[in-house]
């Protein structure tokens, strides 16, 4: 497609993207540099059905005046980014000075909310993405080999996990792994341990969420791979068969190279999706054992009675940066291939 045609073709999408994605990101970015004004409080008498006490409230007269002058809040620069609930630069420096061994230092750092969430998020990405690719590919290959007659229903059955709403899917699994659910109770019997609980152990919770993630995302990889498999030319495959190549050799040397760009694409999308892991944490009520970056944003926005816009915005910006860093190797590689292809 000539560049000019592409431009006009892309224009409506591009405009919508600027409007609905670009501008909100910019606004979030600006928000992340501001904190609330210093609260002006005053002592007052408060009475309720249980009696009267002297307590403090926010002085609205004075506060509203300050708010009107600077509605965005107090400029805080990178203050929110480096505070204890985010990058915690100062705290990490302190830990470095105070701790005696490297292990202790790591313990202290991973105890900070942002790093705790980052570690879970990365672990989730690292385990889910390759497994999704692998499982999706194996399913696509197997389904491609079965007779056409039963292929339709099989495909439908395979993509079901993707059709099920993530929250519902995780809730169903959550009930199944309950100590009295079908999986939980059977596991207790198998392991001969009546105290075994998948929800109370951190490691088991992580494993459950990761397995759920693989289950939920594999159909996407499968669908794309299956479509790509239909485009594999038959001649080289037949030639290889005549040359006596095994099934594995054919997959390794003909099919994989052919669908390689698609693999890159699926890897990119999966990585992006997995880095934003959120629903399973809510569905599994796993907040205690597993927090992701997206969950931190949610926590700042809704879990407190006071909404922390600055914190949420800062974490959002760092999530974007995180995704960019994760995708960089793949993107650079694609760009290089694109250059050599031209």
Partner 1 sequence: MKKILISLLLLLFGTSAYADCNIKSGSINILANDFPALRTFVETAKGCKGSADFKVTHSSEHNKIAVPALTANPSEFSARIAANSSIVPLMNQDLIRPLDDLVKKYGKGIQDSQLITIDGKIMAVAFMANTQHLYYREDVLKELGIAVPKTYEEVVAASEKIRASGKMQYPYAAAYKAGWNLAEEFVNMYIGHGGEFFKAGTAQPSINNAKGVATLNMLKKLAGLSNPDYLTHDSEAIKVEWESGNVALMTLWASRSGTLLDDDGDAKITAATKLTGPATVAGGNIPAATLWWDGFTLAKNRSDADAEATFRALAHAAANKKMVADAADQAVWLIEGFKPGPKSIGVIEAVKMKAKPYPMLPQMGLMHGALGSEIVEFLQGKESAEQALKDVEAAYMSKAKEQGFL
Residues that bind partner 1 (CB under 8 A): 35-39, 41-51, 55-58, 60, 63-64, 74, 76, 80, 83-85, 91, 111, 113, 178-179, 194-195, 197, 199-200, 202, 284-289, 291, 299, 302-308, 310-311
As measured in angstroms, the least distance from the Cβ of 36 to partner 1 is 4
Minimum gap (Å) between residue 214 Cβ and partner 1? 22
For residues 207 and 213, the answer to whether their CB atoms sit within 8 Å is no
Q: Tell me whether residue 191 or residue 328 sits nearer to partner 1 (CB atom).
A: 191
Query: Measured from the CB atom, is 157 or 194 closer to partner 1?
Result: 194
At its nearest, how many Å lie between partner 1 and the CB of residue 25?
20
CB of 64 to partner 1, least distance (A): 6
Minimum Å distance from CB 200 to partner 1? 4
What does the H/E/C string look like for the chain? CCHHHHHHHHHHHHHHHHHHHHHHHHHHHHHHCEECCCCCEEEEEEEECCEEEEEEEECHHHHHHHHHHCCCCEECCCHHHHCCCCCCHHHHHHHHHHCCCHHHHHHHHHCCHHHHHHHHHHHHHHHHHHHHHHHHHHHHHHHHHCCHHHHHHHHHHHHHHHHCCHHHHHHHHHHHCCCCCHHHHHHHHHHCCCCCCCCCCHHHHHHHHHHHHHHHHHHHHHHHHHHHHCCCCHHHHHHHHHCCCCHHHHHHHHHHHHHHHHHHHHHHHHHHHHHCCCHHHHHCCCCCCCCCHHHHHHHHHHHCCCCCHHHHHHHHHHHHHHHHHHHHHHHHHHHHHHHHHC
Of 97 and 235, the one with the shorter C-beta distance to partner 1 is 97
- Shortest distance (Å) from residue 304 CB to partner 1: 4
Minimum Å distance from CB 164 to partner 1? 21
Q: Which is nearer to partner 1, 45 or 339 (CB)?
A: 45
Our CB check for partner 1 shows the closer of 129 and 291 to be 291
Name the residue nearer to partner 1 (CB basis): 158 or 294.
Answer: 294
Of 322, 255, 269, 299, nearest in space to 118 by CA = 322
Question: Which pair of structure tokens corresponds to residue 127?
Answer: 């385990």
Distance CA 283, CA 285 (A): 6
The least CB distance from residue 72 to partner 1, in Å, is 13
Residue 53 CB, shortest distance to partner 1, in Å, is 8
Of the pair 81, 215, the CB lying nearest partner 1 is at: 81
Taking each helix axis as running N to C, give the angle between helix 102-110 and helix 89-98, from 0 to 180 degrees, rounded to the nearest 10.
150
> In degrees, to the nearest 5, what angle opens at C-alpha 255 toward C-alphas 340 and 152?
125
Distances from the Cα of 215 to the Cα of 130, 163, 171, 210, 289, angstroms: 13, 12, 14, 9, 20
Nearer CB in complex with partner 1: 18/44: 44
Q: Which is nearer to partner 1, 178 or 187 (CB)?
A: 178
């Amino acid at each position: 497609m000539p560049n000019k045609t592409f431009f006009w073709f892309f224009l409506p999408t591009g405009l919508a993207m600027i409007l609905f994605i670009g501008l909100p990101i910019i606004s979030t970015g600006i928000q992340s540099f501001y904190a609330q004004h210093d609260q002006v409080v005053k002592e007052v008498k408060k009475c309720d059905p249980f009696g009267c006490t002297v307590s403090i409230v926010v002085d609205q007269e004075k506060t509203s005046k300050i708010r009107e002058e600077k509605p965005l809040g107090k400029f805080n620069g990178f203050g929110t980014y480096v505070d204890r609930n985010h990058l915690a630069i100062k705290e990490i420096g302190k830990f470095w000075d105070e701790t005696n061994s490297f292990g202790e230092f790591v313990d202290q750092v991973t105890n900070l909310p942002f790093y705790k969430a980052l570690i879970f998020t990365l672990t989730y990405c690292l385990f889910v993405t390759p497994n999704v690719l692998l499982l999706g590919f194996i399913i696509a290959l197997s389904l491609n080999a079965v007779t056409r007659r039963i292929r339709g229903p099989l495909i439908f059955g395979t993509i079901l996990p993707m059709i099920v709403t993530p929250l519902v899917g995780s809730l169903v699994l959550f009930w199944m792994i309950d100590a009295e659910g079908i999986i939980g109770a059977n596991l207790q019997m198998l392991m001969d341990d009546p105290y075994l609980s998948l929800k109370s152990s951190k490691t088991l919770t992580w494993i459950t969420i990761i397995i759920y993630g693989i289950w939920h995302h594999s159909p996407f990889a499968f669908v794309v791979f299956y479509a790509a498999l239909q485009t594999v030319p038959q001649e080289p495959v037949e030639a290889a068969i005549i040359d006596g190549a095994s099934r594995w050799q054919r997959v390794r040397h003909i099919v994989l190279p052919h669908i390689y760009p698609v693999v890159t694409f699926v890897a990119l999308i999966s990585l992006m999706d997995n880095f934003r892991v959120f629903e399973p944490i809510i569905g599994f009520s796993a907040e205690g054992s597993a927090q992701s970056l997206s969950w931190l944003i949610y926590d700042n926005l809704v879990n407190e009675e006071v909404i922390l816009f600055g914190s949420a915005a800062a974490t959002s910006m760092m999530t974007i940066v995180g995704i960019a860093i994760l995708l960089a190797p793949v993107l650079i590689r694609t760009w290089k291939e694109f250059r050599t292809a031209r």
